[in-house]
Chains A and B, each alone.
Chain A
Amino acid sequence: MSETVTLTIDGAEIQAKPGQMILVAAEEAGIYIPRLCHYKGLKPHGSCRLCTVTVNGKPMASCTQPVAPGMVVETKTEALNQFRRQILEMLFAEGNHYCMFCEKSGNCELQAQGYRYGMTAPRYPFQYPMRDIDASHPDIFLDHNRCILCARCVRTSKDLDGKNVFQFVNRGKHKRVAVDSRARLAGTNANVTDQALGACPVGALMKKRVGYAVPVGQRLYDHKPIGSEIEAKASR
């Protein structure tokens, strides 16, 4: 399609492709909208709500909202930042996020969003849920304590790996990722080369025996906030 849609994001006029989601259009223009459940190559999911922006003053998830001509989008108002902090604090309070010994620490997107928003401790009481670890598979483990229910593994396995290893079961606070076998992960056709592993933003779905491979100080988010690489595009 040759035509473009013109909209305003954070005061700047942006050209976007018709049908493009606001989050992606912003990203192409060097504006980073924080996200957790959004993952390149997958259909938008809209579950974490971290990417909420205002569109003509109305709050909307930017990962599921397509651009429209003349839209006025704000992505970084103080109110939005407050909302995002609360979402992050909810996620930290909901699960069991022990960053101090997590193999994903330093490369974890949830943690990185916490850093980006300067979170020191959640305002909400920790729920300390009882959750399971599935270490049955020889090469992969699934630690439900760290899961934030973003469905990136579910969708990647289905849409990119062409498998169907994961799906959600139960609802509400009991919702969790389940695997396609009653014999746990070992009984599925999950493989260590599956893209689903790389899709997990946190340390819930990981390769065994490669923890802590990158020294502290050299990890993805040790020095620069998540999203800096997108924002760098704008300043170039």
Chain B
Amino acid sequence: MAKPKVATASLAGCFGCHMTVLDIDDRILKLIELVDFDKSPIDDIKHFTGRCAVGLIEGGCCNEENVHTLQDFRKHCDVLISVGDCATMGGIPAMRNGIPLEECYAEAYLVGPSVHNPSGRIPNDPELPLLLDKVYPCQEVVKMDYHIPGCPPSADTIWETLVALLSNKTVDLPYELIKYD
């Protein structure tokens, strides 16, 4: 029987949640016995090769590309999980919410203390995704099935969640595994 497939993506995040997936240490060997990885920065597969059982999303949506990726995951994954505070509540990137976008662009490209931009223009390459008006947590863009808070969530939290889902059990995390920091 084919193993269920897992896909992962890092949207507006710091990759810390992905690092934590690796932090499950030797259990990663067990994980590989349980699942195959599809689209993911872990194996560098860029496009979905088929339907996935589980999609893990790190980061919220700060630009159009994030939205597109997230919607692509929603199309291809049976169960979609927000991993980490950025995915569940926007996290540090969401600190720009409430600041007018114009000021954000200006700070990044024109007036910030570390900016060197003799052109005085905001770059306009189609390769640079347009920013959204604010940073959205994943559940405000597509329906998410589970949320794992934490910055990052502990390796145990991610492990327990995955194992429960893959063995068709309800995800019921013990007290010490739900943390928001």
Contact = CB atoms under 8 A, between A and B. Distances in A.
A and B touch in the complex (CB under 8 A): yes
Interface of A: 92, 96-102, 105-106, 111, 114-115, 118-122, 125-126, 128-130, 216, 222-225
Interface residues of B, number: 27
Contacts of B180: 97, 99-100, 105, 111, 114
Given A99-B151, A129-B98, A130-B98, A118 B173 contact: yes
A121 B134 contact: no
Majority secondary structure, A binding face: loop
A128 B176 contact: no
A99 B98 contact: no
Nearest to A118: B178
Contacts of B82: 121
Given A111-B180, A126-B89, A130-B98, A121 B151 contact: no
B63 interface: no
3 tightest Cβ-Cβ pairs between the two chains A and B: A100-B151, A99-B180, A121-B147
Nearest to A99: B180
B134 A128 contact: yes
Interface of B: 82, 85, 88-92, 94-95, 97-98, 134, 137, 139-140, 146-149, 151, 173, 175-176, 178-181
Contacts of B181: 99-100, 102, 105-106, 111, 216
A225 B146 CA distance: 22
Contacts of A223: 175-176
Contacts of A100: 85, 91-92, 151, 180-181
Contacts of B97: 128
